[in-house]
Structure 1
Amino acid sequence: MTNAALDQITDSPLLALYPQPLWHWFAQICAIPHPSKHEAALSAHIQAWAKERGLPVIVDQVGNLIISKPATAGMENRKAVVIQAHLDMVPQKNADKIHDFTKDPIEAWVDGEWVKARGTTLGSDNGIGMSSALAILGSKDIPHGPLEVLLTVDEEAGMSGAFGLQAGILKADILINTDSEQEGEIYMGCAGGVDAKINLALQWQEADTTQVAYTLNISGLKGGHSGVNIHLGRGNANKILARFLAAHANELGLCISHLQGGSLRNAIPREASCSFTLPVDKLELLQQRLGHYQDILQAELAATEPALRLSLVDAADPARVLQTKTQQQLVNLINSCPNGVMRMSDEVAGVVESSLNLGVISTTEDSINIICMVRSLIDSGRAYIESHLQSLCDLAGAEVQFEGRYPGWKPDNSSPVMAIVKATYESIYQREPEIMVIHAGLECGLFKKPYPHLDMVSIGPTIRFPHGPDEMVNIKTVGQYWDLLLAVLARIPEKTA
């Protein structure tokens, strides 16, 4: 860790918060860049720390860390527990924020009851869970049975760490996942998912040099987690842009030269842009149409997207633009692509069953690439959305591939560890927790394949707006989560013969 990073930890306002061991670790994690696929520096730091304390460390073939700690005195015969978190974070920032997630630390600060980051994602998803696991490993006075900590790589960008976890490495009987985001809720199931990668081949023509060039930008949206926040009715910048193009591109004679939007398939797109040319005599009409469209969007999304903004800026004259037929295919494809909640669950009230996030659009030399994140609590729901997208792409003349399918985590109402966590929560807080299924891709479903015997549960503090620059974690609930986790570890039963 660099001297600058060490100085940041020493000066961090997080060190005054409860519980101090957890927040001290979180300050270190914020100081070491760790976006998905760039976790090596943080992993090396944790490995060195563990080895200094004589804690056995395994780095498996895909880069997951498994750190073991013996039971505290008198608890040697308890069932073994693995506390699980992921090493990576989602790298998202505001457009005006200068930040390199592979080099720059996260600027965490305290805002009343919340910890936030300045202009970027905070990484409390899953940095708080990771911090709690490491704080317990480093403790000398927390009672627990045989303990393992599993820190997976690449959870946010494909779950390759969970996919690659091999049988036989973990010895535990119970797994506590720390990636949930609402205090007072115990998660016992989650959605599965798949990435839909759409490719539309492009045909170009020379740009008309008598036309003027502009770029239309969509900005100011909240974004957020494409599973946890998908039901909130937030605007998707890609869809907002396509809606305008579908309504007015032909009328205005727009000739598209570049289209892009979003940056992660599992984050609701906050920004999108389209560069184009148009006849100079259509410019006034374009400005009128944009003003009217802005009014429509403000009326429709006033409650959810008060900062939504459409802006038109000068662009460099392009050498080429899309042919008319290709442009029509592209606009129709994006405009008609489903997005948002597809169906609510019949079994779990208030929980989304199936959803789709049109997350990323990018233009290359010869194609437009679109990445959608499909989620569903049931395999048939996911398969239906795949079929829907396949049919749409067939009609649009595009190709689609489905990659990285991962299973959901099927709820187990008879789970012993869920019963322990529930009873422990009630004894501490004198109220019943909610037993929940989350519309997000926890890694638990993947762990069941190499470790079918694992009894699993997921808990965490209250995190708002993960996967976006508005991400924040509630300080009080971090303490509540910590107290619950320690109390659960103390209540783990003895092994049966």
Structure 2
Amino acid sequence: MSELSQLSPQPLWDIFAKICSIPHPSYHEQQLAEHILSWAKEKGLHAERDQVGNILIRKPATPGMENRKPVVLQAHLDMVPQKNNDTVHDFTKDPIQAYVDGEWVKARGTTLGADNGIGMASALAVLADDSVQHGPLEVLLTMTEEVGMDGAFGLQAGWLQGDILINTDSEEEGEIYMGCAGGIDFITTLKLDREAIPAGYQTVKLTLKGLKGGHSGGDIHLGLGNANKLLARFLAGHAAELDARLIDFTGGTLRNAIPREAFAVLAVPAANVATLKTLAGTYLAILKNELAAVEKNITVQVDDIATTHAAMTNASRDAFIRLMNATPNGVIRNSDVARGVVETSLNLGVVTTDADQAQVICLIRSLIDSGKEYVVSMLESLGALAGASTEAKGSYPGWQPDANSPVMHLVRETYQRLFGKTPNIQVIHAGLECGLFKKPYPEMDMVSIGPTITGPHSPDEQVHIASVGQYWTLLTELLKAIPAK
């Protein structure tokens, strides 16, 4: 981590390096949380946790600024655990191997955790650096944001004292976010019947990999390949032709990450294996042509594999493949109100099969509730046609934009004064916790800012070093400029 210690602002990068050294994927934040609590208490700061594990740290105002409006700096504790297939890494035990590559900080073969580790580091750096001027200050670090916003759902009224909340989970320097999409998980479960593999069949593993992946909100408009959809498309075109018996299908690992890899185990008549390999090569050429602008490293391969598992019956195979092939994915509608922003989307994120059922997990996002409801209705209809059971759960609200937000105007004015240009005021299609915070704290004025992070939720994640410095300057100047109560 010595490379990161050479970067500026040093307090922020030192803290981020420490965060990288402590495993903290979703549901495994305890070690990092304990470190932060101990760190805060060593500095003489008030620190506590609530019933769901959220951390709250308070720091008194800089002398002379006690009358300013109290501010909450907010980040989430967990990171998305994604790695390349050939990377050996246990996110629950191993540190993130961060390194400097030119203008960027990256990780070796895994997600970096800049989402939201840089924001968390910036909040803790404010606490650590007594040269930063501010009014009464709170730092709120929430639990398990990436897989269900558990901490935000569990946040109780009356715990926070701040009038203003600055969310640090945005990923584009020069943009100020004042609203975000809401979301809901959708799970389709299809029963499967199985039978013995006929004699004379050879078992193979069909792999589609090498896709970029990415954030299912912030990157959904980029036209990236979804490995689940692309592999299902191939099977829809050729499974019956090859008399292929489907044994297993797995793809994706998180419902909020665009799937980079998918795998199908097939039993194929030995005489058809060569044809399968030829068709896979042809399909790869088709995908390389279609996705040439966005997916440079896509691979489709066929490998021999041994298995003792039974195959799906042809009826179950066809029902599953048709369900997968027909499930929509990507942008459903762009917003008429927030120009250039996706209004409604879904990500076919995780697919698994076991002995008697297949499960398909999607994440639906929309700036408007009716958009979520429409996609839920589509998927319910599709499930009914396939004879599958469906469940929509974990709905969380969007963050309604407030064009009259005083803190949003203050951020814009501060940015213009510092950098001599006007920032973009945006609504983000990704989910932020601010919408959930509005329930227990309806009067709290909120805004979201951050540095430039590309490829979040994928091993290509990287954070732009210079933008971190600009973000730090904006954040510290903003704290200094917060008005009196």
Q: Does TM, normalized by the shorter one, top 0.5? A: yes
User: What secondary structure sits across from 1:72 in the alignment?
Assistant: coil
Query: What is the identity, as a one-letter code, of the residue corresponding to 1:458?
Result: S
Q: Report how far residue 317 of structure 1 moved.
A: 3.6
Letter in 2 for 1:416: P
Structure 2 distance, partners of 1:300, 1:453, is 48
Amino acid at match of 1:227: G
Secondary structure of the equivalent of 2:415?
Answer: helix
| SS of residue matched to 2:435 | helix
The CA distance in 1 between the partners of 2:470 and 2:307, in whole Å, is 57
Stretch moving more, 113-122 or 207-216? 207-216
**Unaligned regions of 5+ residues in structure 2, if any?**
none
1:54 maps to 2:16: no
> For residues 35 and 282 of structure 2, what CA distance do their matches in structure 1 show?
54
Question: In the alignment, what sits opposite 1:18?
Answer: 8
Residues in 1 aligned to 2:127 and 2:239: alpha-carbon distance in whole angstroms: 59
How many percent of aligned residue pairs carry the same amino acid? 59
1:477 & 1:352 partners in 2: Cα distance?
A: 25
2:209 to 203, 211, 219: 219
Displacement of 1:138 in angstroms is: 1.1
Match of residue 4 from structure 1: none
Residue in 2 that maps onto 1:5: none
Deviation at 1:324, TM superposition (A): 1.0
Between the aligned partners of 1:167 and 1:16, the Cα distance in structure 2 is: 41
Q: Please give the per-residue CA displacement for 1:170-196, whole angstroms capped at 9, x wherever unaligned.
A: 000000000000000000000000000
Query: Does the aligned pair in 2 maintain the 1:212–1:317 contact within 8 Å?
Result: no
1:141 paired to 2:117: no
2:94 is aligned with 1:104: yes
1:283 aligns with 2:302: no
1:467 to 457, 463, 480: 457
- For residue 344 of structure 1, what is the amino acid of its counterpart? N
- Where does 1:314-463 land on structure 2 (aligned, <5 Å)? 314-463=304-453
- How far apart, CA to CA, are the structure 1 residues paired with 2:126 and 2:277? 59
Q: Secondary structure at the match of 2:256?
A: coil
Alignment partners' CA distance in 2, 1:223 and 1:22? 28
1:168 aligns with 2:146: no
TM-score (norm 2): 0.99
**1:270 maps onto 2:263 in alignment:** no
Contact 1:213 1:318 (8 Å CA) reproduced: no
**Are residues 1:487 and 2:477 paired?**
yes
Shift of 1:209: 3.2
Distance 1:417 1:486 in 2: 14
C-alpha distance after superposition, 1:80-122 (max 9, x if no partner): 0000000000000000000000000000000000000000000
Q: Distance in 2 between matches of 1:351 and 1:264?
A: 23
SS of 2:390's equivalent?
strand
Aligned-pair distance for 1:207?
1.2
Runs of 4+ in 1 over 4 A off after TM superposition: none
Shift of 1:290: 1.1
Which residue among 265, 282, 299 is the counterpart of 1:309? 299
Matching of residue 253 in structure 1 with residue 243 in structure 2: yes
- Classify the secondary structure of the residue corresponding to 2:257: coil
CA distance in 1, matches of 2:18, 2:285: 45
Give 1:318 shift: 3.1
Letter in 2 for 1:423: E
Matched, 1:204 2:216: no
Letter in 2 for 1:472: Q
Q: Work out whether residues 133 and 149 of structure 1, in 8 Å CA contact, stay in contact via their aligned partners in 2.
A: yes
What residue is the counterpart of 1:6 in the other structure? Answer: none
Deviation of the 1:365 alpha carbon: 2.5
Separation in 2, partners of 1:317, 1:37: 32
- Post-superposition shift, 1:146? 0.2
For residues 273-328 of structure 1, the C-alpha deviation after alignment (integer angstroms, 9 at most, x for no partner) is 00010111111211221111111111101111110000100111434100111111
> What pairs with 1:222-237 in structure 2 (closer than 5 Å)?
222-237=212-227
Question: What do you get for the CA RMSD once the two structures are aligned?
Answer: 0.7
SS for the counterpart of 1:189 is strand
Q: Is the 8 A contact 1:94 1:120 kept in 2?
A: yes
Separation in structure 1 between the aligned mates of residue 394 and residue 309 of structure 2, nearest angstrom: 37
CA distance in 2, matches of 1:50, 1:133: 12
Question: Is the contact between residue 257 and residue 318 of structure 1 (CA under 8 Å) also seen in structure 2?
Answer: no
